[in-house]
Amino acid sequence: MELDDLVRLNRVIRVIGFDDAPFSRHASANVSIAGVVCAGTRFEGMVWGEVERDGWDATDRIVQLLVGRKFLPQLHVLLLDGIGFGGFNLIDLPQLCDRLSLPCVSLMRRMPNVEAVKQAIHRLPQPEQRLHLLQRAGTIHSYPPFFFQVCGANPQVIASVLERVTDCGKVPEALRLAHLIGAAVVKGESSSSA
């Protein structure tokens, strides 16, 4: 069933939300990532992996955590807490969408300062490749309280999905839980903000 049909018929929508765990900007160790599966706002399961800090493997790692595993066939949408994991290990959003055959959404808590992001990227190796990935993610859509980029679905439909998978506030439950779990595993307790 198509995503817009699920919304229109008020069916349960299963999402997975990925966030990276807290990490030291000065350490070279890999960064943990949590992927939390929710049916609507109800927790149903999770996956756990690692990406290189400021590396190039985030897209591949998410694909490896899902392809051939039990959750992918159940999912309707994949949510990301921003386009970068472990600093500037940027997701190739269109490639992720193609490889998973799933709408992929990068959410932001507010409209980003694109110029500041570009300046930060220029301090890293291979800035042109990183900027290319940033551009491939596409237009930032504003449906307050949600700001997002999307591949594989209509932005209006995604805005409706986000409302349905958010319990309160402006962070979908799957992303909120991924954030809390990542912090708890790394720091021994969850942080107060998600």
Tens digit of pLDDT per residue, the chain (194 long)? 899 999 999 999 999 999 999 887 766 789 999 999 999 999 999 999 999 999 999 999 999 999 999 999 999 999 999 999 999 999 999 999 999 999 999 999 998 888 899 999 999 999 999 999 999 999 999 999 999 999 999 999 999 999 999 998 899 999 999 999 998 887 778 776 65
Instruction: Report residue 55 CA to chain centroid gap.
Output: 17
Q: Give the separation between CA 94 and CA 109, rounded to whole angstroms.
A: 21
The domain ranges of the chain are 3-185
User: Do 92 and 136 meet the contact criterion of CB atoms below 8 Å apart?
Assistant: yes
Helices (runs of H) and strands (runs of E) counted in the chain: 7, 9
| Architecture of the domain delimited by 3-185 | 2-Layer Sandwich (3.30)
Give tens-digit pLDDT for 171-181.
999 999 999 99
Do residues 54 and 122 lie in contact, with contact meaning Cβ atoms separated by under 8 Å? no
**Position 151, amino acid:** C
Locate the DSSP E strands across the chain.
14-20, 31-39, 42-51, 77-81, 84-85, 89-90, 104-108, 141-143, 146-151
Q: Rounded distance, CA 151 to CA 103, Å? A: 6
Q: Please check whether residue 152 is in contact with residue 102, taking contact to mean a CB–CB distance below 8 angstroms.
A: yes
